[in-house]
């Protein structure tokens, strides 16, 4: 879930450290590992969705580009959240983990303290003592400390992947990016053409067929078989956006088996009309929303009460993003 992703950049130690009560309980573990046999550092916390659909082309393209080295950015269509950038990055890491014997470092670029998170990763996952001063006693800047981390990466050889999830401001990251070819950088971002030097893979909405496949995985084959037309309409209505499909799919899945997809559509439509009425009578600011966007907003109003806290977080994120 997006919300969890933005806050979970490390393991259990991370939280303890954040609160200023960091106890080095890694020590025992790391001391028990034979030098040179230590697993590559990896802080990926997310298992990814069990219902992953489509994106095979993008996964292959991503692999090809990252194998050639350099920096690759994933971008979403028209900056819309929920299209599946983070999910694609997770699936990529899961599928191609073994291309990275130098380790995997997942960082939320949304947080302002990206540099501090890189230093922290080196401390927690590579057991590095990052120097605070140079040999003359001059204090090292955060940028210099980050540079030191890239240079002293453990293991000392092997390609490593750095994921910067949800980059909004490339300028704030640029100083901290690694320069050596062994570090490959994968960014996700809502912006297109974030930087002319970045190679971008534009991530589009799902195809109608993939959307239907996702809905089927969420609400069950029986429901879709019984109401094929309504199922297709529902996908269209949600603009083939993974996040919308997931919100609505989970909502329907909780309903009794006789609950109809057509009913869902009707309720969404009613909710959209209500939203539009509210927007017209207020500032009118949302009139420029695309069909998919207003569809998602309607779905979100409707299912708010029924969502799990994690899904509420996604919905809230989407609302803030758009």
Ligand X SMILES: Nc1ncnc2c1ncn2[C@@H]1O[C@H](COP(=O)(O)OP(=O)(O)O)[C@@H](O)[C@H]1O
Select the residue whose beta carbon is closest to Mg ion and give its number: 86
- When asked if residue 200 is in the footprint of ligand X (CB under 6 A), the reply is no
Locate tokens 């009613």: which residue? Answer: 270
Residues 262-301 that bind ligand X (CB under 6 A): none
- When asked if residue 106 is in the footprint of ligand X (CB under 6 A), the reply is no
- When asked if residue 51 is in the footprint of ligand X (CB under 6 A), the reply is yes
DSSP string, 43-103: -------TT--S-HHHHHHHHHHHHT-SEEEEEEGGG-TTSSHHHHHHHHHHHHGGG-TT-
Dist. CA 265–CA 244, nearest whole Å: 13
Phi, psi at residue 72, to the nearest 5°?
-120, 135
Question: Shortest Cβ distance from residue 289 to ligand X (Å)?
Answer: 17
Residues 31-90 that bind Mg ion (CB under 5 A): 86
Span from 83-91, 171-179, 258-266, 272-280 in contact with ligand X (CB under 6 A): 83-91
Residues 85-114 that bind Mg ion (CB under 5 A): 86
Tell me the pairing of strands 71-76 and 183-189.
parallel
Residues 6+ apart with CB under 8 A from 276: 294
Give 224: exposed, middle or buried? Use CB within 10 Å, 0-12, 13-18, 19+: buried
Span from 31-39, 80-88, 129-137, 250-258 in contact with ligand X (CB under 6 A): 80-88
Question: Shortest Cβ distance from residue 69 to ligand X (Å)?
Answer: 24
Select the residue whose beta carbon is closest to ligand X and give its number: 84
What does the binding site for ligand X look like in residue numbers (CB under 6 A)?
Answer: 2, 49, 51-55, 76, 81-87, 188, 214, 242-243, 246
What does the binding site for Mg ion look like in residue numbers (CB under 5 A)?
Answer: 86
């Amino acid at each position: 879930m997006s919300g969890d992703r933005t806050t979970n950049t490390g393991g259990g130690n991370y939280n303890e450290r954040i609160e200023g009560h960091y106890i080095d309980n890694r020590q025992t573990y790391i001391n028990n590992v034979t030098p040179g046999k230590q697993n590559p550092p990896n802080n990926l916390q997310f298992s990814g969705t069990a219902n992953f659909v489509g994106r095979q082309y993008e996964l292959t393209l991503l692999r090809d580009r990252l194998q050639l080295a350099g920096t690759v950015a994933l971008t979403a269509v028209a900056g819309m959240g929920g299209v599946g950038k983070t999910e694609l990055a997770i699936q990529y890491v899961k599928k191609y983990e073994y291309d990275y014997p130098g380790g995997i470092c997942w960082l939320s670029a949304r947080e302002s303290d990206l540099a501090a998170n890189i230093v922290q990763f080196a401390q927690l996952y590579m057991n590095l003592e990052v120097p605070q001063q140079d040999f003359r006693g001059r204090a090292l800047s955060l940028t210099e400390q980050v540079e030191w981390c890239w240079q002293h990466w453990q293991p000392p050889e092997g390609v490593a992947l750095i994921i910067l999830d949800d980059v909004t401001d490339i300028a704030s990251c640029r100083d901290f990016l690694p320069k050596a070819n062994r570090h490959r950088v994968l960014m996700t971002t809502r912006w297109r053409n974030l930087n002319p030097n970045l190679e971008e893979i534009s991530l589009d909405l799902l195809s109608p067929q993939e959307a239907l496949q996702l809905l089927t995985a969420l609400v069950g084959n029986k429901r879709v078989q019984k109401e094929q037309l309504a199922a297709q309409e529902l996908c269209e209505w949600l603009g083939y956006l993974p996040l919308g499909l997931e919100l609505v799919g989970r909502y329907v899945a909780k309903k009794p088996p006789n609950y109809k997809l057509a009913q869902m559509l009707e309720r969404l439509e009613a909710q959209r009309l209500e939203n539009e009425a509210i927007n017209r009578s207020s500032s009118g600011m949302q009139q420029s929303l695309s069909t998919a966007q207003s569809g998602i907003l309607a779905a979100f109003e409707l299912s708010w009460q029924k969502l799990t806290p994690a899904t509420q977080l996604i919905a809230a994120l989407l609302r803030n993003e758009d």
